[in-house]
Structure 1
Amino acid sequence: MADLYPMHLQHDHSDKVGMKTQQFPLGLFDCNETKNQEVIQLLKFLTEKYVPLDGNEVIDEVFIGGDRLTDERVQGAQRAMENAETSKGKLQGFISKIEDWHRMMNFLEEMNVEDEDQLLPSDFQEKTDEDKISWLNEICCRIVKKYMFENNEDMLEQLRSVLDDPDHIENYFVASDNDDRFHCHFCPKSFVQLNSVKLHEKLLHQHTVTSKTSRKSNPENEDQLYNHIMLIFKFVCLLKNLDISIDMGDGARSVRSAKYELPIFNKTNKTKYAIRCVHLTTLTEETLSSEQSQKLIYNKSINIQGGKNNNLALDEYLEMLNRDGKELVKGH
């Protein structure tokens, strides 16, 4: 099928992603990401240099990306400056975003699945190339529909159990959010941070919330091997989908993939990546203007050699530069 199936799946910007990317190095900055004040100073410098301004007000935001920690630190610096008087002072010239390669690496480690068995129809060789592709697509659609969406233990089950349970610990505290502050259920106090109100109610009011979620028992006759194989199948599908979307520069497919990765991150306790998946989806579908949303979706990769399917995630390329840079200065 490799000789028949399209090497590149067309998307809205297929004609652009095959072009060699022109790069503009911003230089190196002496900044320790773990120190909030240094990140604030860096963002102030970058604001002056790269953000469109009208006096002290931001005209248009600029995207800034990196791994999960970079994304977190940028937002932390912005929260620290949210009491400033101007949008420039609040560091609102930047919209932080998580990049694809680190997301993919955290989603799944390397997997190697080989299957040489093939079951082809008897008239397969007589079919046209288009019919052969249609035959494969139809089988793939049936597999995805049955094993990704129709089985009882679907991937979004745990997420729905949170949303459907008003007494769940997450809903209990988030429901108290008012005017960007979390309010205590027992006294007039309110807090900016969610963890603060949790700690306050626990220490001052001796109140701790526990979820009333029931664990499903595993029947003795349940086929654990089958369940394990199906889980690997789902992981491989999601991983391959994200990997290929990066290669093809298909930002829309990469963003959609985050919705399906979300319950995996949640179930494997990678909470911060689950939050970043929500953040990415919210940016592209709710909070950004149509123009800004398109900028985010279709500027997620870089092509350093030209040609279709030769794209790299922005953070993957940056890791390569970091590696080469450290090698050059070793011993100095």
Structure 2
Amino acid sequence: MIEILEHLQQYVPGARTELEEIQEREETNPKMQAIPVGGDQLTCERIRGAHMARLDGDTQEERLEGLITMVEDFHEKINFLQAMMDRFYKPGSARETGTLYQLRNVINRRNVTKNVSADYHAVGSFIDLVTSAHVIAAALKAFGMDSIEDPCPKVPLFTESADEGSKKRLLDKIVGEIVDTFFLNSLTVTVNRIEDDETAIEGPIVDDGVYNYATNVTKYGLLRKIYVLATRNGDGIRQIRHWKYGLLVYDLSHKIKYRLESFLLLAGVNALFTEKQRHQIIWNRFVNLSGGKDKNLDGDYVMELLNKYAKGRVKLLGPNQTPEIVDRIGKTMMFCHNVNEKLEREIGVHPAGIHHAQRDKTQDIKAVVNQLKNANVFSVIRGRQHDSFQEQFDMFQNVNSHALHKWLNVKKQEYSNGKYAF
């Protein structure tokens, strides 16, 4: 890792490319302008380990001060989804209507397993579908509708002839009622309890385990969907905001390394980094390979794609691999790929498909909505409980606010003393 950082540091503005006398450093070279280098949690951890190994260096270059860590988002999406599956997905709940495992069997998603890393896209697609179905079921309950096809009694007659501003205000009002009824109130109370370091605040947690399970699955699912949309739209502010929720989720699920990574990112963006570094970290989290609106990808996801492409080229070498050839492949693979695409266009070869055929999910959504509606998951019926989920929980109710505040204060104290907070 030290060798990698030494190589990357040549691209840092103000970094010396050749050794100079130590005493001439400040007079002949401007101070380095540190830039962020991104990666998943393990990469960031190793970068910080390399920094610690070089703390006794005589120059900025030897201490590798030209690079700062920036945790990226694709692998965090996997961990966030894993935290959700750990909490809400149990194979023993197959007979309990409305649970994730039961709904998975209803729509026959056999590629969905509790281990998200085995097939992230399958699990993510399933959770997004179930979240949409929960929102629809909540809307049906709030509006007193029997099916999706029924007219909504909340929509006045002749609404289609209104102007766009009026339609938007009406939509905001209708959606706001659903959010306030089922999702927002308890979440606000539990977050305020954590912020105020109080455990005595009573939240509106009802004595209905089925209702609590359904509303909390929806909250997790909506946080995930917002996170995915933020990536597609290149919304860095919303990406950083998600890590605030992520810190609480990882504290609750005992994912201590991602909890620490959440703290380090938020501390850097809000207090430690310069304005330029802050701007780079917020807005340089995305890559758009194909151009166009809503097609941004996470930086570490694009790196996974490039690694897969490079490994395919290296595999073709068979036993003829040498470090020089592998290095040449890494430096030229995108150039060769672009040349290949241009040549295919000129000779009329049909380009390879870049879009996956999307299966129509309408019937699956209707099936899940019917399950939720028949089980009355959004009606408060006191005393109900899923046998596999005995916990009467709200999203962050079980976060130990005293322990979390103590941990945060320790980390802030380490930073204020000029130490590494890890």
Same fold (TM over 0.5): yes
**CA displacement at 1:138 relative to structure 2:** 3.2
Q: Give the aligned partner of residue 222 of structure 1.
A: 207
Listed as ranges, the matches of 1:254-293 within 5 Å are 254-293=239-278
**CA displacement at 1:319 relative to structure 2:** 1.0
Using the TM superposition, name which of 109-118 and 39-48 deviates more. Answer: 109-118
Distance 1:138 1:323, change over 3 A: farther
**Contact kept? 2:74, 2:301, Cα under 8 Å:** yes
In 2, Cα distance between equivalents of 1:313 and 1:129: 33
Q: Give the aligned partner of residue 56 of structure 2.
A: 83
Listed as ranges, the matches of 1:92-171 within 5 Å are 92-108=65-81, 109-110=123-124, 111=127, 112-113=129-130, 114=133, 115=136, 117=148, 119=152, 120-123=154-157, 124-144=159-179, 149-151=184-186, 154=189, 156=191, 160=195
In 2, Cα distance between equivalents of 1:288 and 1:45: 23
TM-score (normalised: structure 1): 0.64
In 1, Cα distance between equivalents of 2:170 and 2:240: 28
Q: Give the aligned partner of residue 60 of structure 1.
A: 33
**CA displacement at 1:154 relative to structure 2:** 4.9
SS for the counterpart of 1:122 is coil
Q: Give the aligned partner of residue 242 of structure 1.
A: 227
Matched, 1:69 2:42: yes
Using the TM superposition, name which of 141-150 and 109-118 deviates more. Answer: 141-150
In 1, Cα distance between equivalents of 2:193 and 2:261: 18
**Contact kept? 2:183, 2:215, Cα under 8 Å:** no
**CA displacement at 1:299 relative to structure 2:** 0.9
In 1, Cα distance between equivalents of 2:303 and 2:187: 41
SS for the counterpart of 2:58 is coil
Tell me which amino acid in the other structure corresponds to 2:227. Answer: L
Distance 1:158 1:268, change over 3 A: farther
Distance 1:133 1:64, change over 3 A: same
**Contact kept? 1:159, 1:263, Cα under 8 Å:** no
Q: Give the aligned partner of residue 252 of structure 1.
A: 237
Distance 1:275 1:43, change over 3 A: same
Quick one: which of 8, 11, 15 aligns to 1:46?
8
Deviations 1:34-81 (A, max 9, x none): xxxxx1122122223445326657510011011111011101111121
Q: Give the aligned partner of residue 300 of structure 2.
A: 315
Structure 1's unaligned 5+ residue stretches are 1-38, 165-212
**CA displacement at 1:142 relative to structure 2:** 4.7
**CA displacement at 1:158 relative to structure 2:** 8.2
Q: Which structure shows the higher strand fraction?
A: 1
TM-score (normalised: structure 2): 0.52
Q: Which structure shows the higher helix fraction?
A: 2
Tell me which amino acid in the other structure corresponds to 2:297. Answer: L
SS for the counterpart of 1:151 is helix
**CA displacement at 1:136 relative to structure 2:** 2.2
In 1, Cα distance between equivalents of 2:32 and 2:235: 28
Tell me which amino acid in the other structure corresponds to 2:208. Answer: D
In 2, Cα distance between equivalents of 1:314 and 1:152: 31
In 2, Cα distance between equivalents of 1:318 and 1:152: 35
Aligned residues: 241
Distance 1:274 1:135, change over 3 A: farther
Tell me which amino acid in the other structure corresponds to 2:156. Answer: S
Distance 1:121 1:149, change over 3 A: closer
Tell me which amino acid in the other structure corresponds to 1:228. Answer: Y
In 1, Cα distance between equivalents of 2:179 and 2:246: 15
RMSD of aligned alpha carbons? 2.9
Tell me which amino acid in the other structure corresponds to 1:315. Answer: D
Structure 2's unaligned 5+ residue stretches are 82-122, 137-146, 319-422
Using the TM superposition, name which of 289-298 and 115-124 deviates more. Answer: 115-124
Distance 1:282 1:139, change over 3 A: farther
**CA displacement at 1:248 relative to structure 2:** 0.5
Tell me which amino acid in the other structure corresponds to 2:293. Answer: K
Tell me which amino acid in the other structure corresponds to 2:37. Answer: I
Tell me which amino acid in the other structure corresponds to 1:121. Answer: V
**CA displacement at 1:92 relative to structure 2:** 1.1
**Contact kept? 2:285, 2:299, Cα under 8 Å:** yes
Distance 1:292 1:245, change over 3 A: same
**Contact kept? 2:35, 2:277, Cα under 8 Å:** no
SS for the counterpart of 1:97 is strand
In 2, Cα distance between equivalents of 1:153 and 1:223: 19
Distance 1:122 1:307, change over 3 A: same
In 2, Cα distance between equivalents of 1:235 and 1:281: 21
